[in-house]
Amino acid sequence: MSSLVPPFTLETATQKVRLAEDGWNSRNPERVSLVYTPDSRWRNRAEFITGRAEIVAFLTRKWAKELDYRLIKEIWAFTDHRIAVRFAYEWHDDSGNWFRSYGNENWEFDAAGLMQRRFACINDLPIRESERKYHWPLGRRPDEHPGLTELGL
């Protein structure tokens, strides 16, 4: 198997996207933070985050609010050291209101394959529980579960 460090190929970029999806679906902030450089810089919606400690704090807050979080990512484009993805995730708040959040991310990696910059644009769409499309048990999306394109998202 090819190494998941720049320069990326379609195969390695696609693998990197799936590993990122799997990490975020773990909802483990410490685990997720380790794929970012210690001084990684993010823009997530209108929030600016720098470094692993802030990433852990942000993800801890996020997953305390976004309950039963399930995410699907799909590669959009890539270059030698950058990957663009689109994604959608479903979650509900503590009042039982369901949402599907849609977005795009642009990632930049260092030579070791750690993400040093992440820019995310995200919009939330309220949905009824009956409109949910993600029904796998919490954790990693099963390989046989459709992706965004197959789901028409």
How far is residue 101's CA from residue 49's CA, in Å, rounded to a whole number? 20
Yes or no: say if 23 and 32 are a contact pair by the CB < 8 Å rule.
yes
Q: Where are the domains of the chain?
A: 10-151
pLDDT at residue 141 greater than cutoff 80: yes
pLDDT at 1: 35
Model confidence over 24-53: pLDDT tens digits? 999 999 999 999 999 999 999 999 999 999
Number of residues that this document lists for the chain: 153
pLDDT at 3: 67
In the three-class reduction of DSSP (H, G, I as helix; E, B as strand; rest coil), residue 59 is classed as helix
At the top level of CATH, the class of 10-151 is alpha beta
